[in-house]
């Protein structure tokens, strides 16, 4: 089969693209009460950022810049570094332990790329940014009560957050060697205490009412805790800013409805007070699946595509850092004409944009 294409781009309206066809910014501005807005993005810095991440980050800066130009608000971007993601996994006695990224060299290498991109987007959009790791996020005072509330409702939310096993995936790494009981097999949460086991150093305990900064989660639980924390900040006069999140479109829909909004409701947090999440269009392969960095790395997928649509290091090799301008222009366009925002784009759409900018002849 030969894939055919007429290069005509259509934007059929439906759902949010119908409702927000011409304007999203004024809708956002009507909802935000405070004078300062923080736009939050997150990623696991385990390699050079993949193409989808470049789009998410650019969309955050484009949104910040557009809000700033249409209001008197101060707007910044916050990069929440998910340094508690695994850098490697080992199995001891049939139990999986992970070593966090924060303990590995892999993270410092890829953070150079992340910082280079943030710096570039920041300058191009005249928007400041800051970087925060999980330790700082979880060290916030309010986290303690959020965790306590979740633990008290464990039976009500555990199958929402971990449908296969019904385990509350709240865990802490061993202070001695950094290993974490990834699936919580030997982790017991009782009142305020998280009891865990290290294959090298034996049992250890963490009281999250004292050391909440040491707590780590699986992705659904982290998503829930983060949303609740942002909601509390947005609703509190003790904080002079409100947070809006930007994340990839693969999290939109069923995932958030079931794992975030229903879980929050069970815990007694109003959905209306959770932060707004703007989803970035996904970049899809020929079959309509999102481009996956790990499939490329582990299984050699996408050999038929130019490498620069895989990750930032290839893009920089090909075009220099200015190659990011193609993405910046596109994410600005999505926000200026938001009927373009509430949909996904094929990787070929982006290849065409790069070819138009750089006069064809790209392999
Ligand atoms: Zn240990």
Task: For residue 220, report the distance from its CA to the centre of ligand 1, in Å.
Answer: 25
Distance in Å, CA 92 to ligand 1 centroid: 12
Indicate the pLDDT class of residue 361, thresholds 50, 70 and 90.
low
Domain chopping of the chain, boundaries: 22-83+104-138+295-363
Q: Summarize the confidence of residues 119-130 as an average pLDDT.
A: 98
Q: What would the pLDDT profile of 137-171 be if each residue is shown by its tens digit?
A: 999 999 999 999 999 999 999 999 999 999 999 99
For residues 226, 230, 236, 240, the Cα torsion angle rounded to the nearest 10 degrees is 130
Work out the burial of residue 55: count CB atoms within 10 Å of its CB; fewer than 13 is exposed, 13-18 middle, 19 or more buried.
Answer: buried
User: DSSP E strands: which ranges in the chain?
Assistant: 36-43, 74-81, 86-92, 95-100, 128-133, 170-172, 179-181, 188-190, 193-198, 202-207, 215-217, 241-248, 277-280, 283-284, 345-346
How many whole angstroms from 181 Cα to the centroid of ligand 1?
A: 10
Measured in Å, residue 191 CA sits from the centre of ligand 1 at 23
**Of the candidate ranges 13-27, 99-113, 181-195, the one whose mean pLDDT is the lowest:** 99-113
Q: pLDDT (tens digit, 9 = 90+) per residue, 247-274? A: 999 999 999 999 999 999 999 999 999 9
Cβ partners under 8 Å of residue 117, min gap 6: 49, 54, 57, 312, 324
Count of C-beta atoms within a 10 Å radius of residue 62: 26
pTM of the full structure: 0.95
Q: How many whole angstroms from 43 Cα to the centroid of ligand 1?
A: 26
Q: How far is the CA of 177 from the centre of ligand 1 (A)?
A: 4
Three-state secondary structure along 152-186? HCHHHHHHHHCCCCCCCCEEECCCCCCEEECCCCC
Residues in the 5 Å CB sphere of ion ligand 1: 174, 176-177, 198, 200-201
Kindly report the number of other CB atoms within 10 A of residue 352's CB atom: 14
Q: What is the CA radius of gyration of the chain?
A: 21
């Amino acid at each position: 089969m030969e894939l055919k294409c007429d290069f005509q781009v259509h934007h059929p309206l439906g759902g949010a693209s119908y409702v927000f066809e011409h304007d999203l910014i004024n809708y956002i501005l009507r909802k935000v009460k405070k004078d300062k807005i923080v736009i939050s993005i997150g990623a696991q810095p385990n390699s050079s950022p993949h193409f989808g991440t470049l789009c998410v980050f650019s969309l955050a800066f484009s949104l910040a810049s557009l809000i700033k130009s249409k209001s008197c608000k101060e707007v910044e971007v916050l990069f929440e570094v998910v340094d508690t993601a695994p850098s490697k996994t080992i199995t001891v006695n049939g139990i999986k332990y992970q070593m966090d990224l924060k303990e590995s060299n892999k993270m410092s290498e890829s953070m150079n790329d992340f910082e280079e991109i943030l710096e570039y987007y920041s300058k191009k959009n005249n928007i400041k940014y800051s970087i925060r790791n999980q330790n700082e996020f979880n060290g916030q005072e309010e986290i303690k009560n959020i965790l306590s509330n979740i633990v008290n409702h464990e039976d009500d939310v555990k199958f929402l957050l971990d449908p296969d096993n019904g385990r509350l995936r709240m865990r802490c790494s061993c202070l001695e060697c950094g290993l974490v009981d990834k699936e919580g097999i030997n982790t017991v949460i009782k009142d305020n205490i998280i009891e865990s086991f290290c294959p090298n150093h034996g049992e250890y305990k963490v009281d999250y009412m004292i050391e909440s900064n040491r707590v780590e989660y699986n992705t659904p639980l982290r998503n829930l805790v983060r949303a609740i924390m942002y909601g509390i900040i947005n609703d509190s006069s003790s904080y002079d800013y409100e947070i809006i999140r930007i994340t990839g479109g693969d999290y939109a829909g069923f995932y958030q409805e079931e794992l975030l909004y229903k879980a929050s409701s069970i815990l007694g947090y109003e959905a209306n007070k959770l932060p707004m999440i703007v989803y970035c269009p996904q970049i899809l392969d020929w079959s309509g699946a999102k481009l996956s960095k790990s499939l490329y790395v582990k299984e050699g997928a996408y050999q038929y595509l130019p490498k620069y649509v895989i990750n930032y290091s290839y893009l920089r090799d090909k075009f220099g850092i200015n190659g990011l301008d193609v993405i910046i222009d596109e994410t600005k366009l999505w926000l200026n004409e938001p009927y373009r925002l509430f949909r996904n784009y094929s990787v070929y759409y982006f290849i065409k944009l790069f070819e138009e900018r750089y006069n064809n002849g790209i392999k």
